Each structure stands twice: as C-alpha cells, then as structure tokens.
Structure 1
Amino acid sequence: MLFNMDILRKLSRPACRPMMQAFRFYCDNPNRNLITFPVAQIQEGKSKYMMAYVYIHGEMANAKIVIRSNARAKYHLDVYDELQKEASEKGLCTQGLGGGYMVHDPEKKYMKLYGRSTTLGKADHENAREVLQPSYTDHKIDAESGGMEP
C-alpha cells in the first residue's frame, strides 16, 4: 500500500510542531544572541577601549571579537564590566583580550588606537583595527604597531 506524501505530512505536522518550536527556542536563542551581539560600540573623543571574545558557554571555537570604549571609565576594568553585564544578559560569556586608548573623531572620520591597559594588558591594535574597519568603512583608522607583547 502506497502512502500519499501530502497526507503523511498533514498528519505528522501537528504532532511535530510543538516539539520543533521548543527545540528551535532552546538551540537558536544563544546562537541568535551571539550573531546579533554588536561588534563595536565606540564613543567619540578620547576613551579607554578594550577588546574581548564573546562566546556561548562551552563553545569557544565560535567566539566573536568585540570592541568597547567608554570615555567616562576610570579604569579599563570598568569597560570590561559593562561588556560582561551586556553579554550575561544575553546568556553569553566573555574573555578579555587586552585594552588601550582610542581617539575617535566622527567629524574628521578618524580613529587612533594606542597604548595599553595596566590591568588587562595591551590589546592587539592591528587586530582591533581589522575588527572595527567593517563597521567604520568611511573612517581612517590608525593603529599603533607591535600588537600583543610577549
């Protein structure tokens, strides 16, 4: 006896739909949060900046590099604490990669990355420039050479 595939689909769809929706909610939510997590949030003027990995707990292989700056932060750790709070609200984890200073002039479309954080260490400014460039295509971004110190 041959089954008509249309009839089989109609019969199985109501039974599978609730399970698939629950599965999709459980699996896609962390991935969606990681994909939509903003790569760069930069303030204008001179500010402390930090670079970090944001990832789903236990899945470091899919980590995303993000940059955050804050002109009002007293310490680089203040910038990192804000990032950790933002990531944990979305169920994500963070790992700091270093910090430095940034000058951002939106009128001149210019950024400069330099220096280091005493607590977090020096960020790889060249890598930070590569992360920022797609978000700020119209900006000239200068990065202090040298990258990570050994």
Structure 2
Amino acid sequence: MEAKYDDETGVPLNEAGRRVVERATAKGSLDDGNAGQKGSSEVLDKIPAVEIAEGKWKYVQIELTAPGEPPKLVVRNTAGLPYHPDMYYAAMDKLEKEGLGQVKGRVIGGGRIEYYPEQKTVSIYGYSKTFGRVKGCNQKSAEIVELAYPDHKVSWSDDGY
C-alpha cells in the first residue's frame, strides 16, 4: 500500500503513511554501552552529510545512528517526491540498499531547499507540516550544507513554507 498524506496538513491518511512517520520519528535504541566511542568500522563516516537535488524540493534533516558510534546529522531530499516522509523513506531505503541496514535514522525536522548548482546557491527555509517546526533545524542544515559545498552561497530562514 502506498503511503498517503494530506496535501494541506501533511498528516498521514493511511496506515502506510502512519508507519513511515512513526519510523521517522522513533528514537532508536542502539546504545550498546559504547555510546560516543568510535566503532572499528566507522559506518557513519562513509555516509555523505548532504545529498540534495537540483531545484526546489522539500528536505529532511535526519539523525543517523549506528552501534558504537556517535550520531551524525545528514540533510536529504530527492527530486520528484512530494512529502517530507517520502524524503526520509527514500534516504533510509538508499542506505539499506547500500548494505547499511544497521544504520537507524530519525527525522529531526525539515523544510524546503532550493539548490541551483550553476549559480552555486542553496536556500533553506520553511518547515515540515508532517514533522512540525523545529527550532534551529534550518540553521543547522545550512551549516551542514556549507561544509559540504564550501564554494556555494548558502542562506537559511525559518520563514515560509
């Protein structure tokens, strides 16, 4: 069954949508007593901090966790997907297909990203109707993007939708 969301409120409209949102907001229980210590594989270091599509799309900021490693924040979106939970699902599905099923993720927040590589600009703003407003999310996402794209002009705002 395809996940469905209300176009105005972002609220899940069916069980598939509710499961995606539940998974996206669940705190993982990966603490094996070594929290904060680097694991020998350093799985999270292999995952890019930013993967964004050209144009104007919704985005999510995801906190990734893996056993024995400190959490890592990543910024993700995918062209053509209409909802924030879709962005989360696509990001986590990609990790699983890459053999990184041990990595868990939960959405911290989201909004919109306008990324224009030819102009070397990234604008981050708004919020997710599904996951709500999260203070500092857009600013932190901009910091993450700036590190990944140091030659781009990155701006952020909490305004807009």
Q: Is residue 45 from structure 1 mapped to residue 55 from structure 2 by the alignment?
A: yes
2:103 matched residue in structure 1: 92
2:129 matched residue in structure 1: 118
- The answer on whether the counterparts of 1:54 and 1:87 sit within 8 Å (CA) in structure 2 is no
Q: Percent identity?
A: 28
2:40 matched residue in structure 1: 28
1:4 matched residue in structure 2: none
The structure with the greater share of residues assigned to strand is: 1
Name the aligned partner's letter for residue 143 of structure 1: W
| Structure 2: runs of 5 or more not aligned | 1-38
| Structure 1: runs of 5 or more not aligned | 1-26
Alpha-carbon distance in structure 2 between the residues aligned to 1:42 and 1:122: 20
- The answer on whether the counterparts of 1:40 and 1:66 sit within 8 Å (CA) in structure 2 is yes
* Residues 88-128 of structure 1: CA deviation (Å, up to 9, x unaligned): 43121101101101111111111111111111223511111
Q: Aligned pair count?
A: 116
1:13 matched residue in structure 2: none
Q: How does 1:135-150 map to 2 (within 5 A)?
A: 135-145=148-158
The structure with the greater share of residues assigned to helix is: 1
Q: Normalized against structure 2, the TM-score is what?
A: 0.66
The higher radius of gyration belongs to 1
Q: What SS class does the counterpart of residue 108 from structure 1 fall into?
A: coil
